[in-house]
Amino acid sequence: MKELARPAATKMLLVVLDGLGGLPVPELNGRTELEAAATPNLDALAKRSSLGLAHPVLPGIAPGSSAGHLALFGYDPLRYVIGRGVLEALGIGFDLHPGDVAVRANFATVQDTRNGPVVTDRRAGRPPTEHTRSICRRLQDAIPEIDGVRVFIEPVKEHRFVIVLRGEGLDDRVADTDPQREGMPPLQPQPLAEEARRTAMLAGTLVQRIAELVRDEPRTNFALLRGFSRRPRLDPFPERYRARAGAVAVYPMYRGLASLVGMDLLPVAGDTLADEIASLKENWPEYDYFFLHVKGTDSRGEDGDWAGKIKIIEEFDAQLPAILDLNPDALVITGDHSTPATYAAHSWHPVPFLLYSRWVLPDRDAPGFGEHACARGVLGQFPLLYTMNLLLANAGRLGKFSA
């Protein structure tokens, strides 16, 4: 791709309706959320677009948010895996440097027994976030560094927090300390490679110091660590595709993922879709590629709230004319994975995919934008990983391959 990509005065737009794909809802007469939503603008666009179903990873595989977005940005999610620690750090907007080791941590309850300490509650009774925030502040003040390595301790939500280690020669190949079952002793952070010996020792010291500092807490008296990880080394998006790339997203995790691949984060005034579109408009002249992220579809899907998901889709449809007014040369509207409201979780179903440009073979007979129409679409079924190929090609930004 890097060899074929060439600059051009064209605009590409990727709209991600997070968790877009759905399944038949009995109350909707067997239609899916997307099929049941009143979407006159999407339906009209569908007839002038190519439709298809795209697989974020592989058939049958339900992806996490990072895997779906990596695919959308053209990075193979089977090759680049983002660790839990990194994802959690991105989720709170932490500015991870290359080389930093990020760890997802949980406050837990540990009790002493004849056989030593055992974990009695892996989530310390889900403490209020405010409580976690105040302990993290106390820990951060007490442990600014260990052995020359900077330590960041940041609260997330309820029992969850993030630890980031920053210094020379760190390595993320360290095993989880969470025993995964209650009644078991917490594990030591074991190095999984010779080069990770020092990081594992630092982590061991850190766990001990935290334990001393919280030992008098009634429930949050221990910390379990998981998902030691570093930012993956990715070819920066703007160089790879020779396109200035701007991301319009409200949620920290998606901003983090965009910044991880090297996109610029565009300021958004508020957290509504209208705010996002205003940001898109304002920055339109400055970039070649835009990533616009809409979170609500996934959140409502995960809640099992099909009516709420429909409402978000309809809100998006109402704003679609404003997006089309920008006149993108190549436009994709899709999801990073499916989150059917009936399933109430990320699922493995391929996502509805709409590609619009002046160079598409249109699905002129499509009844609208929906899962069944996409299943019969002219794009067929394909890996979501090819999204960038399609955007670049349709925007006239890809040279011919081979002679």
Among 2, 114, 233, 400, binds a copy of itself (CB under 8 A): 400
Residue 81 in contact with a copy of itself, rule: CB under 8 A? yes
CB of 93 to a copy of itself, least distance (A): 16
Taken in order 129, 134, 140, 142, the sign of the CA dihedral is negative
- Tell me if 349 sits within 8 A of 342, measured CB to CB: no
Positions 29 through 58 that interact with a copy of itself (CB under 8 A): 30, 32, 53, 57-58
Sequence letter at residue 173 = R
C-beta separation of 349 from 23 below 8 A: yes
Min CB(84)–a copy of itself separation in Å: 5
Tokens of 235: 């070819």
- Amino acid at residue number 238: P
Phi, psi (rounded to 5 degrees) for 277: -70, -35
The token pair that represents 197 in the structure block:
């010996």
Contact stretch for a copy of itself (CB under 8 A) within 76-84, 160-168, 263-271, 275-283: 76-84
Q: How far is the CB of 399 from a copy of itself (least distance, A)?
A: 8
Least distance (Å) between residue 400 CB and a copy of itself: 5
Token pair recorded at residue 158 = 């309820």
Which range of residues in 86-94, 177-185, 273-281, 291-299 is near a copy of itself by CB under 8 A?
86-94
Is residue 159 involved in binding a copy of itself (CB under 8 A)?
A: no
The length of the chain in residues reads 403
Chain positions 325 to 384 lying near a copy of itself, rule: CB under 8 A, are 340, 343, 346-349, 359-362, 364, 371-372, 375-382
- Single-letter amino acid, residue 329: D
Of the candidate residues 83, 127, 155, 335, the single one contacting a copy of itself (CB under 8 A): 83
Q: How many residues lie near a copy of itself (CB under 8 A)?
A: 60
- List CB contacts of 291: < 8 A, sequence separation 6 or more: 14, 16, 72, 73, 245, 246, 247, 248, 249, 258, 263
Q: N- to C-terminal Cα distance for the chain?
A: 16
Q: Which stretch binds a copy of itself (CB under 8 A): 82-90, 115-123, 203-211, 263-271?
A: 82-90
For residue 198, what is the enclosing H or E element? helix 197-214
User: Would you say 79 or 215 has its CB closer to a copy of itself?
Assistant: 79
By three-state DSSP, how is residue 9 classified?
Answer: coil
- 306-324 vs 273-283: helix axis angle to the nearest 10? 20
Residues in 240-299 at the binding interface with a copy of itself, rule: CB under 8 A: none
Residue 154 in the binding site for a copy of itself (CB under 8 A): no
Residue choice 2, 9, 60, 130 for contact with a copy of itself (CB under 8 A): 60
Binding piece for a copy of itself, criterion CB under 8 A, among 36-44, 62-70, 126-134, 280-288: 62-70
Distance of closest approach, residue 196 Cβ to a copy of itself, in angstroms: 20
DSSP 301-337: HHTT-HHHHHHHHHHHHHHHHHHHTT--SEEEEE-SS
42: left (phi over 0), alpha (psi -120 to 50) or beta: alpha
Listed ranges 11-19, 65-73, 212-220, 300-308: which one lies at the site for a copy of itself (CB under 8 A): 65-73
Footprint on this chain of a copy of itself (rule: CB under 8 A) = 4, 23-24, 30, 32, 53, 57-67, 77, 81-84, 86-88, 227, 340, 343, 346-349, 359-362, 364, 371-372, 375-382, 386, 388-394, 398, 400-403
